[in-house]
Amino acid sequence: MAGAGQLAQMTQQAAISLGIELRILAEKETESAVLAGARTLVAETSAESLRELAEGAAVLTFDHEGFDPDLLAQLKDEGIHMAPGPEAVLFAQDKLIARENLSREGFPLPPFAVAESIEDFDAFAGEHGWPVVAKTPRGGYDGGGVFIVEDREAAADLVAKVDGVLILEPLLAIKREFAVLAARSTAGEIAIYPVVETIQKDAICHETLVPAALPDEVCAEATEIARRLVEEIGATGIVAVEFFLTEDGVLINELALRPHNSGHWTIEGCVTSQFEQHLRAVLGWPLGSTELRAPAVALVNILGPDNGVDPLERVPDLIADPDVRLHLYTKGYRPGRKLGHATVLGPDLDAARAKTLHARALLQGEPK
């Protein structure tokens, strides 16, 4: 697995149970998966280091999308087996390629246009109004590379600052944000997880609620979109499809072709976690059950708070509650940094969510 963050850390935990040796590429010896005991190659990402990582391995997979697409294509041409393949990963690496291709195949997307000049902003705003949302096609995580452009003056400033094209979208009136996780194996088998609602703040996922409190027809539509999408783009492994529910219905927001924050709840909440499922899928093994282990599951992400409280110092108080399952990513405290998550299984969403919110308040020193 290229990458050594918390996704690789939790994949390592799943690999141990399956008897799989996970070898990771890490840039530092202090990264989460290194500290979790995965066999490690410490090196900068390059053709040479990825070749060394993949030597003798059954498959090369990824814990993030931040790799040069041309480099991955070159390695594939050299015969290195990757899952997902570079053509599929490109849908997560480049928002413009994803939008153009998915739109051509009839998938539901927000209206979009490409902007290279202030005149392009004028034309789009003339049709959809100000403000508009501008996105860089590549890069960006947790809201990075996304700009709310209030007016023509702000658009001119942004055009002057950004090197390259931008994707323009209207500022949508979003009713709900939700996600579907799908797994597709190298043998073509597909497994779909229940639809989850994600609670976002400042473009960061703070909570995940399962099952999503959405109409049955919305869940059915999103599930079918995810199933069709993974086949259409030839994805293998876990794919997360993030959706908006708007006045115009269900719209695709973004894709991730790897284990995803919206699936962390599956560790306790499902028969097969997304991390085990990803390993099964990229190896071509039979996929596991996605059945829920409880009527409801709630997850809260633990972020470094601005008040200076280090959540790591409050762990003993939290784990006194047997219903709360805590996962920490062995990262040092920093305000806004994602340090871990807590999951609760319950008889209903209200009960489970109340416990996760109490866990977050305790760890982050929030007022009760």
DSSP, collapsed to helix, strand or coil, labels residue 6 as helix
Residue 71: pLDDT band with limits 50, 70, 90: very high
**For the segment 150-206, what is each residue's pLDDT rounded down to a tens digit?**
999 999 999 999 989 999 999 999 999 999 999 999 999 999 999 999 999 988 899
Residue 308: pLDDT band with limits 50, 70, 90: confident
Give the C-alpha separation, 265 to 258, whole Å: 15
Give the C-alpha separation, 170 to 248, whole Å: 12
Q: Give pLDDT, residue 141.
A: 58
Structural domains for the chain = 6-82 (3.40.50), 111-170 (3.30.1490.20), 174-364 (3.30.470.20)
Give the C-alpha separation, 6 to 303, whole Å: 14
- How many C-beta atoms surround the C-beta of residue 363 within 10 A? 27
Give the C-alpha separation, 75 to 73, whole Å: 5
Q: Give pLDDT, residue 143.
A: 59
**For the segment 72-92, what is each residue's pLDDT rounded down to a tens digit?**
999 999 999 999 999 999 999
Per-residue pLDDT at 18 exceeds 90? yes
Give the C-alpha separation, 323 to 227, whole Å: 33
Instruction: Please give the structure tokens belonging to residue 146.
Output: 């996304």
Instruction: Please give the structure tokens belonging to residue 319.
Output: 């784990």
How many helices, marked H, and strands, marked E, lie in the chain?
13, 15
In angstroms, how far is the first alpha carbon of the chain from the final one? 41
Q: Give pLDDT, residue 245.
A: 98
Residue 256: pLDDT band with limits 50, 70, 90: very high
Q: Give pLDDT, residue 142.
A: 56
What does the mean pLDDT of the chain come to?
A: 95
Instruction: Please give the structure tokens belonging to residue 150.
Output: 């209030």
Q: Give pLDDT, residue 367.
A: 62
Per-residue pLDDT at 300 exceeds 70? yes
322: exposed, middle or buried (C-beta count within 10 Å: 0-12, 13-18, 19+)?
Answer: exposed
Residue 218: pLDDT band with limits 50, 70, 90: very high
Give the C-alpha separation, 342 to 324, whole Å: 6
Per-residue pLDDT at 343 exceeds 80? yes
Residue 212: pLDDT band with limits 50, 70, 90: very high
**For the segment 183-196, what is each residue's pLDDT rounded down to a tens digit?**
999 999 999 999 99
Q: Give pLDDT, residue 140.
A: 64
Unique residue bearing structure tokens 């990264």: 31
Give the C-alpha separation, 20 to 41, whole Å: 17
Q: Give pLDDT, residue 348.
A: 97
Query: Would you say 52 and 221 are in contact if contact means Cβ atoms under 8 Å apart?
Result: no
Task: Among 33-37, 122-126, 264-268, 333-337, name the one with the lowest average pLDDT.
Answer: 333-337
Instruction: Please give the structure tokens belonging to residue 8.
Output: 């690789």
Q: Amino acid identity of 322?
A: P
